[in-house]
């Protein structure tokens, strides 16, 4: 699927480069033209690529709403909880809540213009673990 390749290979703000945050690999990305339901698959792919780390992807819809999915590799769920991280992002995006499992969680919010701020908030939370 072309959109999936584009989302994973770049073509979006933030690029697809993982960075080290507090000793953890973190890949945070805003992707355009991706349906919210496709985010989980993209985060799964990113987790596989990282091997060990945290992946967060935010899709911003044409109406400006944002969907966010956070994935944490199994070896790190005792350090970083995807549900906590996704709730942090959701708050920044103007949403409330979010849920899932410690290794994969999703949420949304009405203000997609704050997608980069939401990724920065996840990164800040990881820096504090």
Q: Against a cut of 0.85, is the pTM above it?
A: yes
What phi and psi, each to the nearest 5 degrees, are found at residue 30? -100, 130
CB contact at 8 A, 108 and 90: yes
The CATH number of the domain where 109 resides is what?
3.10.310.40
User: Across residues 111-127, what is the average pLDDT?
Assistant: 97
Q: What is the pLDDT of residue 1?
A: 55
Query: What's the CA gap between 81 and 73, in Å, rounded?
Result: 10
- What residues pair up with 72 in beta bridges, in sequence order? 54
Q: Which domain holds residue 55?
A: 2-127
For the stretch 17-42, pLDDT in tens is 899 999 999 999 999 888 889 999 99
Judge whether residue 15 has pLDDT over 70. no
Count of domains observed in the chain: 1
Residue 95 CB burial class (10 angstroms; 0-12, 13-18, ≥19): buried
For the stretch 61-115, pLDDT in tens is 999 999 999 999 999 999 999 999 999 999 999 999 899 999 999 999 999 999 9
């Amino acid at each position: 699927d072309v959109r999936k390749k584009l989302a994973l290979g770049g073509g979006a703000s933030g690029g697809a480069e993982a960075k080290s945050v507090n000793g953890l690999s973190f890949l945070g990305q805003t992707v355009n033209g991706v349906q919210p339901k496709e985010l989980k698959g993209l985060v799964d792919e990113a987790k596989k690529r990282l091997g060990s780390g945290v992946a967060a992807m935010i899709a911003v819809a044409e109406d400006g709403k944002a969907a966010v999915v956070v994935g944490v590799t199994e070896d790190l769920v005792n350090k970083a909880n995807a549900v906590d991280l996704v709730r942090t992002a959701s708050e920044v995006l103007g949403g409330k809540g979010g849920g899932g499992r410690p290794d994969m969680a999703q949420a949304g919010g009405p203000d997609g213009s704050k997608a980069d701020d939401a990724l920065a908030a996840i990164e800040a939370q990881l820096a504090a673990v």
